[in-house]
Amino acid sequence: MTARRILLVEDEPTIGAAVSDRLTAHGHEVVRAWDGPGAVAAFEEHEPDLVVLDVMLPGFDGHEVCRRIQAVRPVPVLMLTARDDEADVLVGLAVGADDYLTKPFRMRELVARVAALLRRVDRAAELAAAPEPVRTWGDLRLDVGARRVWIAQDEIHLTPTEFDLLVCLAAAPGDVLSRERLLAEVWGWAEASGTRTVDSHVKGLRAKIGADRIRTVHGVGYALDVEANR
């Protein structure tokens, strides 16, 4: 994989050093920041390809950092949180985070998540270069190449992960896709623990496009509900 510039925002010295060393060992350039204001300034100065962002920071927290940097330029964000709480995770997703890891985490998993997010950036660039036709289901309209979504005349603003999840579901409308398949196709990795990530993103996507548009099949997975989208 091509080396990228990664902004790492972590105020805990031991964790920050370990993550920085591992990402550097994989060929990436790592820019460090230790607090909220410093993170926003570093983002604007260095224009990173990806941000690894701790939630609990001095100055202002990672959620506010994420909100501010996404307002400047869309960028994939991997959030690090010490709280294994769905409400806390959903706040992160709502402000533009693409994925999250709960501390303590395995360094191998962090590297895999970073690699998966960067692969998705490359896939998005390829789609933009060779856009697909606009797809419609009732009043739901999806422009894959332009990465835009509308319900009737209203454009819906999705995070990059939410958009990729919708595209995956829309590729087989009505078909039930397992959490494991969604995890592999959208996130690009397969860990049993990652199915909670899928559930959290589906919840966030439903909040934006309507809960009835995505059907849950308990114990199996999710489907774009063709009937609800007529």
Give the up-direction half-sphere exposure of residue 192: CA atoms within 13 A in the CB hemisphere: 0
Q: Give φ, ψ of 218 to 5 degrees.
A: -60, 130
CATH 1.10.10.10 fits 131-224, yes or no: yes
pLDDT tens per residue across span 58-78: 999 999 999 999 888 888 999
Q: Where are the alpha helices (DSSP H) in the chain?
A: 13-25, 36-46, 62-72, 86-94, 107-129, 160-170, 179-182, 195-209
- For the cut 60, the answer to whether the pLDDT of residue 193 exceeds it is no
Beta-bridge mates of residue 5: 29
Burial of residue 28 (CB within 10 Å: 0-12, 13-18, 19+) is buried
- For the cut 60, the answer to whether the pLDDT of residue 1 exceeds it is no
Tokens of 94: 């709502």
Radius of gyration of the chain (CA): 17
pLDDT tens per residue across span 96-135: 788 888 888 999 989 988 988 888 777 766 666 666 677 8
pTM of the model: 0.73
DSSP letter at 180 equals: H
The fold adopted by the segment(s) 5-125 is Rossmann fold (3.40.50)
Strands 77-81 and 154-156: what pairing? Answer: unpaired
Domain boundaries in the chain?
A: 5-125, 131-224
